[in-house]
Structure 1
Amino acid sequence: MHYKTLTVSDENQIRVILEDWSVATRQNRKADSFKNHLPDALIYDVLPPLQYESTEIYCENCEDRQPETLGDGQFELENLKITVGSDLAFAHCLISSRGIMPDGRAFHDLARATFCLQKLNGTWKVAHQHISKPYQNSLIDIILKTLDSQVTTKETSFN
């Protein structure tokens, strides 16, 4: 990849693509969410099955990803950073999702996002999308602690 000076045009094109994705995703408009993705884009998501080999497979296997909210909810890209080469670009940000559930409970969630884009015939397309959440103490911690204590117990009994 040859790096070049970031042009306002390239950065703006990519920023618009990702902001459009954000709005369409919040509104559960799947077709619009992926209009700027390559058909064979590799997508990693926080919800199972975690890896999708195309936008079509992602759309077929996913129910509405955004919770129903009273009024407009938020699904915003925060601190979006873009690095552009001549035909490849990378962008990363945090995604802030918040709103009021129909039962009146408020929610706020943060996720990380990385996008890899490819310039084809002068147009930027998302080739890879990776959405992840920070690891948090959960059932996985309980399972790992249980497994660890079982291993420690077995090791001790062999001494």
Structure 2
Amino acid sequence: MEQERNIADTESVRQLLLDWATATRSGARDAILQGHDPDVLIYDVLPPLLYQGADAYRASWSGWQPQTQGEDTFEFTGLDVVAGSDVAFASGLIKCGGTLQDGRTFADLVRATFCLQKRSGEWLVTHQHISRPTGA
């Protein structure tokens, strides 16, 4: 029974993160933080690097989110999920990029780690860390 629940929880967490990536890729701002705790702690690649709470993260989007043509690239290249009964961890790489309004393209590869807690039967991201490797 425990193993069956962990398989279901693992798949629930995986789907939540895939939905997050889809919302991010398509620019569905209302859905991006849907699976996040309101008090989520987020480390991201752009200043100020640390966001304390979903509202702080949401408020920063217009300052750094580039205007692009069409759908952006934002997809996991490997997503590992480990879920217990009330805590889960996930990590992977994310390919991101797109085409700017002037036709120039950009692409990047970032690392992502997520910590989740199950609250009232629902998984929520409570910690998210996105980082970009520097140097070679």
Give the TM-score range, shorter chain. Answer: 0.7 to 0.9
Residue deviations 1:33-88, cap 9 Å, x none? Answer: 11111110111111111111100111123326543333222110110000111211
Q: Distance in 1 between matches of 2:108 and 2:100?
A: 13
SS at match of 1:7: helix
Aligned twin of 1:68: 67
Q: Size of the alignment, in residue pairs? A: 134
Gaps of at least 5 residues in structure 2 are none
| Structure exhibiting the larger radius of gyration computed from Cα positions | 1
Query: Which structure carries more relative contact order (alpha carbon 8 Å, separation 6+)?
Result: 2
Letter in 2 for 1:118: Q
> CA contact under 8 A between 1:69 and 1:101: conserved in structure 2?
yes
Q: Tell me which residue corresponds to 1:16.
A: 15
More strand by share: 2
Q: Which residue of 2 aligns with 1:97?
A: 96
TM-score, normalised to structure 1, is 0.76
Residues 63 and 49 from structure 1, CA distance in 2 versus in 1: closer, same or farther, beyond 3 angstroms? same
1:3-152 equivalent positions in 2, closer than 5 A:
5=3, 7-63=6-62, 65-136=64-135
Structure 1: gaps (5+ residues):
138-159
Identity %: 46
Whether the 8 Å contact between 1:28 and 1:64 is mirrored in structure 2 is: no
Normalising by structure 2, report the TM-score: 0.87
